Structure 1
């Protein structure tokens, strides 16, 4: 099967999905052609037959998708004539291209999330001033524009959406998207990279490179912090745990924190709660080094207000580390696949500040000590086979 994959970039969560899907689809014997404004990473370059450069944009959502479609429409039309693909695969609202180009070739677009839940909570996040206004406008406008695009394109016979979780699919349907044009497929994980490793060896690596020193603490991990990720709620939970647990705990926060007013709030919160020796900020870490952190942690915490299908969860589970997560997006799907008694690890958000509930769940999970069923976590090859089945059904 010849697949034209229109990828916006190869960085961040969307980029990791684009890269791994490309690799798996090509290794399964398909002819994958990439069209992107970004150069394909080295890992997939030798597996694709052709690369077409698209025009780059410095714009952000909500302007990115419509402008991308307009300035790249003629280029993509020419690529389709040259390549003659069986299937066209793209991401999110870039599916707008499908409505601008007349072709009978089936189009699929991966929807990585909807911001549906974030609309409920974004007003209360501790972000200040102009940054708060920018955040509100970006999230609100992006959500409504994306839903309008999805409603419009799924009226067409040959355009389909692939939501990254069942909950995301339902959010699309609730927003008025044609349910017969929306499917759900979880994200996968590269099990060659994310796997159980020797804990002591990893501790030694992280001590040398990132100054991580552990002295009998119960080690917790939080990756990709931010307001939407509930980092401030987690820090409040750590303060509660510190008072009620007999054992010492340490929280490692991996990733950059923004915007600046939110970062300042987090730093102030840590000081006010006297958690300077308990919460350690690591900063940005290359994606391929995350397995070192997952393997030394006793638990990974994902207290997000909104998600699609966060890669953190299958990555952590594939390394053998259980996850405590909120019941949003695909979080519960992953935990129900891999953990015995998953309800012990799932946190229902009933109010904005759910720190007490989260602390209780973390304490319960630390005492339960479940071992994830690594085999049940889907690899990217498992996921690519599901995509191929969809492609064949619709082509």
Structure 2
């Protein structure tokens, strides 16, 4: 069996986003071992090579990325459909909805859909009308470099590089409405905590959401408590996870929530909401009510004030939980999907 995988997300604007990361990690795992499949990787989605299966590891709701015509067996990965669950917060415009119609037409000629969580599976069934027996849930995983470290020299270098405070809570992610950053900022004010925010979008002044976040920081007089790093290399990100007192992800909704597992793999506690996919993957976390900044602040303060012994127990449980999620497992389960459609 030959499988051709579209690797264009690793060289486009998606490179620094979750889709690029997913594609990179999956293809690297396929390259690492001797699988019972022949792989070919291509970067021009319009001209896939001859193969038994074409795998498109992304699906854009409002851009026509998936060819309608079926020339091979096809697999597509749909990470989430959050803009369809909350359309008021993700306006697509007329062109976007025309493209959504075309994407839905293309999905009728797909043999299998892979998604990141049971929550996303239900949304794909409901919002995109994909039959449930064509959808396979494969949980993502933190990269192998996300581990506990105790290199004081490295800590010192990274702390100086980004002007990090001595003690801080960490947010890693995007600026979309579902990330609930405005309520997070209110919680930071209440908890009187320092917040380090990691992500390219958080420093992109061209984005309306980023400008709104900056205005709220100013209004709440949080300038001295907030540090934005922008995009980080994986090495610096791992170090900052290890330096953080906790990671916070108080999302209204998630398709997966990879920062939760990355943080846990580093032994750093997590405070997050218990919604959608987070209810599936974030078991050892302390759960908060995303609609209530006071509750987010209360849970953050609780974790910040636990004893050293409790902290160590929390860390052990987190590492053990995160270890259940590996890219080897992702790759193996993906190959199982390929096998299921090419008998």
Instruction: Give the TM-score category using the shorter length.
Output: 0.7 to 0.9
Q: Does structure 2 conserve the Cα–Cα contact (< 8 Å) formed by 1:118 and 1:306?
A: no
Question: 2:150 is matched with which residue: 168, 181, 198?
Answer: 198
Q: Does structure 2 conserve the Cα–Cα contact (< 8 Å) formed by 1:314 and 1:377?
A: no
- CA–CA distance in structure 1, aligned partners of residues 327 and 253 of structure 2: 23
2:175 paired residue number: 226
How many pairs align? 318
Unpaired runs of at least 5, structure 2: none
Q: Does structure 2 conserve the Cα–Cα contact (< 8 Å) formed by 1:99 and 1:153?
A: yes
Deviation of residue 235 (structure 1)?
A: 0.8
Corresponding position: 1:365 with 2:303:
yes
Q: Does structure 2 conserve the Cα–Cα contact (< 8 Å) formed by 1:295 and 1:321?
A: yes
2:294 paired residue number: 356
1:88 paired residue number: 54
Q: Does structure 1 conserve the Cα–Cα contact (< 8 Å) formed by 2:112 and 2:337?
A: no
Q: Partner of 2:82: helix, strand, or coil?
A: coil
Deviation of residue 199 (structure 1)?
A: 6.0
1:238 paired residue number: 188
Over aligned residues, Cα RMSD in angstroms?
Answer: 2.8
Distance 1:262 1:98, change over 3 A: closer
Distance 1:325 1:388, change over 3 A: same
1:137 paired residue number: 92
Q: Partner of 1:34: helix, strand, or coil?
A: strand
Deviation of residue 252 (structure 1)?
A: 0.6
- CA–CA distance in structure 1, aligned partners of residues 151 and 169 of structure 2: 14
- TM-score, with structure 1 as normaliser: 0.72
Q: Does structure 1 conserve the Cα–Cα contact (< 8 Å) formed by 2:68 and 2:102?
A: no
Distance 1:86 1:29, change over 3 A: farther
- CA–CA distance in structure 1, aligned partners of residues 260 and 336 of structure 2: 25
Question: 2:247 is matched with which residue: 297, 300, 313?
Answer: 300
- TM-score, with structure 2 as normaliser: 0.82
Q: Does structure 2 conserve the Cα–Cα contact (< 8 Å) formed by 1:116 and 1:171?
A: no
What is the correspondence of 1:26-175 to structure 2 with a 5 Å cutoff?
26-30=31-35, 31-36=38-43, 54=44, 72=46, 75-76=47-48, 79-80=49-50, 85-93=51-59, 97=66, 99-103=68-72, 106-116=73-83, 119=86, 122=89, 136-137=91-92, 142=96, 145-146=99-100, 148=101, 151-156=104-109, 159-175=111-127
- CA–CA distance in structure 1, aligned partners of residues 264 and 97 of structure 2: 30
Distance 1:262 1:96, change over 3 A: closer
- CA–CA distance in structure 2, aligned partners of residues 276 and 380 of structure 1: 38
Q: Does structure 1 conserve the Cα–Cα contact (< 8 Å) formed by 2:5 and 2:57?
A: no
Question: 1:323 is matched with which residue: 270, 273, 291?
Answer: 270
Deviation of residue 137 (structure 1)?
A: 2.7
1:289 paired residue number: 236
C-alpha distance after superposition, 1:80-100 (max 9, x if no partner): 1xxxx3332113337964641
Corresponding position: 1:262 with 2:209:
yes
Unpaired runs of at least 5, structure 1: 37-53, 55-67, 123-134, 243-248
